[in-house]
Amino acid sequence: GAGVSQSPSNKVTEKGKDVELRCDPISGHTALYWYRQRLGQGLEFLIYFQGNSAPDKSGLPSDRFSAERTGESVSTLTIQRTQQEDSAVYLCASRRTVGSPLHFGNGTRLTVT
Amino acid sequence: RKEVEQDPGPFNVPEGATVAFNCTYSNSASQSFFWYRQDCRKEPKLLMSVYSSGNEDGRFTAQLNRASQYISLLIRDSKLSDSATYLCAVNLPNDYKLSFGAGTTVTVRA
């Protein structure tokens, strides 16, 4: 029923702290994606999950970034030892299958001070 | 060469005008195409899928040109509320990764 849900909407953290972002996809959507969007920039692919297959982590910028997803449900994106350059909006999206459009959540705006 | 490229604009048009812009893609095997709209500090929202024969949704018309490897979006009778960044997205067959363009900014002025 509901769309993609992300929490928190906003997160301010101090440099060096760890943060965890959550995404709840649309029910029945097998694929889940994380993107990053810096201010005034385009979408930067981070990772996607497809069912129980191994995730495509090719977009993760460093080993400080990791993500998990249990089955076809909630996903968490974790950023360890945050840096100021991690400040961005982190968008989660899901889709039913290959060829269908992505549906985005409202995003988490992360600010690292 | 980037997988998906868009003219960043901005396209500044008066209300009521028609504006059109393209999105080129590099992989000729690309199968699925979409246009998204993104308002300032908001998430992208699906505007329309693009079908092989072209399709229309109200004032919006999308076209696919496979020979030249681009899709286009045309907005007729522009409204102030059409001001946004328009992102194109392209998908290879049997590939879950969707490639996005950097967006075309449209500003409609009164």
User: How close is the nearest chain B Cα to the Cα of A105, in Å?
Assistant: 7
Q: For residue range A16-57, list pLDDT tens digits in order.
A: 999 999 999 999 998 999 999 999 889 999 999 988 888 999
Q: Do B91 and A103 touch (CB under 8 A)?
A: no
| Cα A70 from Cα B73, distance rounded (Å) | 38
Q: For residue range B33-81, list pLDDT tens digits in order.
A: 999 999 999 999 999 999 999 999 999 999 999 999 999 999 999 999 9
Backbone angles phi, psi at A65, to 5 degrees: -100, 135
pLDDT band at B109 (very low <50, low <70, confident <90, very high): very high
Q: For residue range B3-22, list pLDDT tens digits in order.
A: 899 999 999 999 999 999 99
Structure confidence at residue A72 (pLDDT): 79
For A94, nearest residue in chain B (alpha carbons) = B96
Structure confidence at residue B50 (pLDDT): 96
For B90, nearest residue in chain A (alpha carbons) = A99
CB hemisphere CA count around A41 (13 angstroms): 12
For A32, nearest residue in chain B (alpha carbons) = B96
Residues of B in contact with A31 (CB under 8 A): 96
Structure confidence at residue A67 (pLDDT): 97
Model confidence at A1: pLDDT above 70: no
Relative to beta strand A108-112, strand A10-13 is: parallel
Here the tokens at position A90 are: 């982190």
Q: Do A42 and B100 touch (CB under 8 A)?
A: yes
Q: Is some CB atom of chain B closer than 8 A to the CB atom of A31? A: yes
Q: Do B102 and A102 touch (CB under 8 A)?
A: no
CB hemisphere CA count around B2 (13 angstroms): 13
- Hey, which residues 35-94 in chain A have their CB within 8 Å of chain B? 41-43, 45, 48, 50, 56, 89, 91
Structure confidence at residue B96 (pLDDT): 82
